Amino acid sequence: MGFLRKVGAIIAKDIAAELHTREMVSAMLVFAALALLIFSFALDLQGRAARAAAPGVLWSTVSFAGVLGLSRSLAREQLNGCIEGLLLAPVDRSAIFFGKAIGNLAFIVTVELALLPLAAVLFSAPLLKPAVLLVVALGTIGYAGAGTLLAAISVNTRAREVLLPVLLLPVVVPALIAAVRATTGLMEGASLTDVAGWVNLLVAYDLVMVAVSMLTFSYVVEE
Amino acid sequence: MTPSPVEARSTVEAPSVTEEDRASAPEVIPLIEVRDLCKSFGPRAALSNVDLDIFAGQLLALLGPNGAGKTTLLRILATLSKPTSGSIRYEGVDMTREGTTLRRRIGLLSHQSLLYEDLTAHQNLAFYAIMYDLAEPEERISEMLRRVGLEDRREDLVRTFSRGMQQRLALARALLHRPSVLLLDEPYSGLDPRVTAMLSDLLAELREEGCTIVMTTHDLPQGLALGRRIVVLRRGRIVYDAPRDQVDERDFPRLYDELTD
Amino acid sequence: MREARRDVLGLALALASALLLLVAIGLVFGYAPRELTMGEVQRIFYFHVPSAWVGFLGFFVTFVAGILYLVRQERRWDILAMASVEVGLTFITMAVITGALWARPVWGTYWTWEPRLTISAVQLLLYVAYLMLRGASDNPAAGARFAAVYGIVAFVTVPLSWFAIRWWRTIHPDILTGGEGMAMTPRMVQTLMFSLLAFTIFYLTLLRQRVRLENARDALARLRELADSRRR
């Protein structure tokens, strides 16, 4: 019980901090919206081509925007040595991981929920389906788990936030491919069972990444 | 409601503990035993063969020049760092293993405030209250805010605080969970004058209550004024370890210079 | 001092590599048959495939060494992990380059999303990220820990990426998917296996030299530290 309570407290703390400043979510949102627009212009997408490209553009944008949020979230713990405040307390290191990861997941999903309608409009793509929301959630879980771990690493290096995309993007390749394929299928009218293979891959990816990240997190934050 | 370890009371009353004392009164066992502690960062040895006994209720002043390893030792005592070799036991229990439970009783005041700038004073303390599983957190938070004179700023973001106010809140945070072992890393350096007085008052109270305190400092007079036990570190080794009343304060500065080159 | 003695094992490995590689080249050009559809250029296959496999082996070694380092906290596992990345990167780069060189004359384009080539490219990015991470740490102890963790995380994504890429390429099969479509005669298999052996021994040779280099650096650092502390 104490474990869950502490995980909840960490999530609540991050949300409270974000509510006070609104820096992180707004930065991600603005960046993501701009990215969508730039993709539209640059690729000169119209009609069928636009629809076909929509899932890829959407997930690429999320991958890039998410990095901003992850960096900010872990940087908050670095400021004033707060992470040491957490390590000093009688808290399981995995509780710290889950607290941060779930919080990051919540922020990124918030941005995605705003992004989906925008992409649906810009690319005339039928993205607003419940099954798509499920795929979005699944795709983001593994991303947030691995991203939290890798952000905790990058924030402790000389290169800081700049290193995170270099570390994270190759690592999310499986999820990216699976999510784009599943979204494309669903968008073109397939049912969830039709894209089950991709969904299963996403679930497998999520399980593996969350497990590995949780197990190695203490080695990253503790000396 | 001030919890204090029962053994601490008796140790505070007892005379200074010398080797002979320890031999003849074996029931006065140290609260924390450090044996043959070594810590290296790559090829560089930060601490070598440190043997130290920390007795309950004592204020131990850890002196030494910069780079001597004071902060490294303090961090190991705080369970933030693990020794490369050697042992460190708290009431007989291996600290590197039982870290989580022991952390309840240990508090650290370091150079960094450990405060979240995007949260209010109250939110900061409430968060730590949950992390330390405090019973009746709201009362304790209000009490600590009163003690450090920040109750009228409780709903303000820490980002809006002046440096002195942040230091005061950091104090409140460090003491929130009533640690029985308080570790202070050069607590007086860079401190607002008003906060200095507050810190001294709080420390005096804690000593009354039998709290065990380890304080690092490079300010000799201060170390001698406060410490009941004086330990000097040089290049990761202990070069001096004696009870306060065995220290000749007029001679000590010269001795200290000699010990630390 | 141990380092001063001749490194017998290293020398043996180097000689073995040289010999095996020469024989392998001989087999590739003399023993293996000429492939039906692609002609002589297909012989790159005998360098491309073993490069990719050995690159993956390097990654696996880093993965295991990373775990051992986190558990045991011994410097030698850290050294092994780093050495394996550096050497593995060389092989994976060869895999990507040979893949591209092969693709050009056969399919008219330097790049195809062929599964093996793609997974090699992904591994290349992971390797480079690992090295950038190592370069970015000020604190060597922390840097070693971070690298070990990344080596573990990065490696577990490789099988997942492999599946994702393969399934992706089967729903969009284009004529560019090569390699798997090739029927292999016994001679081809033998040549491939021998080439793989040669490349693996070569990997071990380079690995050993890199580990020894790092050990020498450590010894030098220790001596410097000793000299500095004496002087103080």
Chain A residues within 8 angstroms (CB to CB) of chain B: 2, 5-6, 9, 13, 16-18, 20-21, 76, 79-82, 84-92, 222-223
Average pLDDT over residues C37-51: 85
Maximum C-alpha span of chain B: 56
Nearest to B100 among A17, A79, A92 (CB): A92
Length of chain C: 232
pLDDT one-digit tens code per residue, A100-133: 999 999 999 999 999 999 999 888 888 888 999 9
pLDDT one-digit tens code per residue, B146-189: 999 999 999 999 999 998 899 999 999 999 999 999 999 998 88
B128-162 per-residue burial string, b: 16 or more CB within 10 A, e: under 16: bbbbbebeebeebbeebbebbebeebbeebbeebe
Percent of chain A with pLDDT over 90: 77
Interchain contact, B132 vs A85, CB within 8 Å: no
Bridging pattern class, strands B106-109 and B181-185:
parallel
pLDDT one-digit tens code per residue, A179-216: 999 999 998 888 888 889 999 999 999 999 999 999 99
The CA distance from B125 to A71, in Å, is 25
pLDDT of A1 higher than 80: no
pLDDT reported for residue C181: 56
Distance in Å, alpha carbon of A16 to nearest chain C alpha carbon: 30
User: Is C32 in contact with C187 (CB distance < 8 Å)?
Assistant: yes
B26: how many CB neighbours lie within 10 A of its CB?
8
Chain B residues in contact with A9 (beta carbon < 8 A): 127, 130-131
DSSP B64-110: --TTSSHHHHHHHHTTSS--SEEEEEETTEETTTSHHHHGGGEEEE-
> Where is pLDDT greater, at C29 or A94?
A94
- Name B147's Cβ contacts closer than 8 Å, sequence gap at least 6: B172, B202
Nearest to C164 among A156, A178, A223 (CB): A178
Interface probe for C, chosen from B38, B44, B48, B82 (most Cβ of C below 10 Å), is B44
Chain B, nearest residue to A84 by Cα: B114
The CA distance from B113 to B116, in Å, is 9
Residue contacts between A and B (CB atoms, under 8 Å): 76
CA distances to A60, A64, B52, B111 from A169, in Å: 10, 8, 49, 36
pLDDT reported for residue B17: 47
C222 touches chain B (CB under 8 A): yes
pLDDT reported for residue B51: 94
Distance in Å, alpha carbon of B250 to nearest chain A alpha carbon: 39
Which two structure tokens, joined as six digits, stand for C2? 């141990």
Average pLDDT over residues C205-214: 95
> Where is pLDDT greater, at C168 or B173?
B173
Average pLDDT over residues B105-125: 94
Average pLDDT over residues B43-57: 90
A200 touches chain C (CB under 8 A): no
Confidence of residue C4 (pLDDT cuts 50, 70, 90): low
DSSP state, residue C172: S
Helix pair angle (C140-171, C75-107), 10° resolution: 30
Confidence of residue C187 (pLDDT cuts 50, 70, 90): confident
DSSP C9-76: HHHHHHHHHHHHHHHHHHIIIIISPPBTTTBGGGGGHHHHHHHHHHHHHHHHHHHHHHHHHHHH--HH
C141 touches chain B (CB under 8 A): yes
Interchain contact, B173 vs A2, CB within 8 Å: no
pLDDT reported for residue C2: 55
The CA distance from B27 to B18, in Å, is 14
| Mean pLDDT (chain A, rounded) | 92
Instruction: Using alpha carbons, select from A109, A137, A142 the residue that is nearest to residue C164.
Output: A142
pLDDT reported for residue A214: 96
CB-based contacts of B144-148 (< 8 A; 24+ apart in sequence)? B144/B172, B144/B175, B144/B176, B145/B121, B145/B172, B147/B172, B147/B202, B148/B172, B148/B198
C167 touches chain A (CB under 8 A): yes
C137 touches chain A (CB under 8 A): yes
Average pLDDT over residues B86-109: 88
pLDDT one-digit tens code per residue, B8-43: 333 333 344 455 444 444 457 889 999 999 998 877
Instruction: Using alpha carbons, select from B242, B208, B181 the residue that is nearest to residue B9.
Output: B208
Confidence of residue B6 (pLDDT cuts 50, 70, 90): very low
pLDDT reported for residue B5: 41
| Mean pLDDT (chain C, rounded) | 87
Chain B, nearest residue to C142 by Cα: B41
pLDDT reported for residue C178: 45
pLDDT of C232 higher than 70: no
Bridging pattern class, strands B32-41 and B85-90:
antiparallel
- Adjacent-strand bridge partners of B242: B230
Nearest to B128 among A80, A89, A222 (CB): A89
SS3 for C81-128, per residue? HHHHHHHHHHHHHHHHHHHHHHHHHHHCCCCCCCHHHHHHHHHHHHHH
pLDDT reported for residue C225: 83
Interchain contact, A90 vs B110, CB within 8 Å: no
Which two structure tokens, joined as six digits, stand for A122? 């810009």
Chain B, nearest residue to A20 by Cα: B118
Interchain contact, C160 vs A174, CB within 8 Å: yes
Distance in Å, alpha carbon of B233 to nearest chain A alpha carbon: 22
pLDDT reported for residue C3: 54
> Where is pLDDT greater, at B211 or A44?
B211
A157 touches chain C (CB under 8 A): yes
The CA distance from C103 to C176, in Å, is 8
Nearest to B43 among C139, C221, C232 (CB): C221
The CA distance from C93 to C51, in Å, is 8
pLDDT of A9 higher than 90: yes
The CA distance from A17 to B141, in Å, is 19
User: Is B187 in contact with B113 (CB distance < 8 Å)?
Assistant: no
A207 touches chain C (CB under 8 A): no
Nearest to C142 among A156, A201, A209 (CB): A156
The CA distance from B215 to B183, in Å, is 6
Interface probe for B, chosen from A7, A23, A88, A222 (most Cβ of B below 10 Å), is A88
> Where is pLDDT greater, at A2 or C39?
A2
pLDDT reported for residue C172: 59
Confidence of residue C42 (pLDDT cuts 50, 70, 90): confident
| Sheet arrangement for strand B59-63 | B106-109, B181-185, B212-217, B59-63, B229-234, B237-243
Distance in Å, alpha carbon of B140 to nearest chain A alpha carbon: 17
The CA distance from A172 to A177, in Å, is 9
Tell how far CA B3 is from the center of its chain. 18
| Mean pLDDT (chain B, rounded) | 86
Distance in Å, alpha carbon of A178 to nearest chain C alpha carbon: 6
Confidence of residue C120 (pLDDT cuts 50, 70, 90): very high
- DSSP three-state, residue A151: helix
The CA distance from C79 to C144, in Å, is 9
pLDDT reported for residue C176: 42
Which two structure tokens, joined as six digits, stand for C103? 């693709």
B167 touches chain A (CB under 8 A): no
Average pLDDT over residues C168-180: 57
CA distances to A46, A216, C159, C215, C220 from C156, in Å: 38, 13, 6, 28, 35
Interchain contact, C140 vs B41, CB within 8 Å: yes
Instruction: Using alpha carbons, select from B240, B234, B238 the residue that is nearest to residue B252.
Output: B240
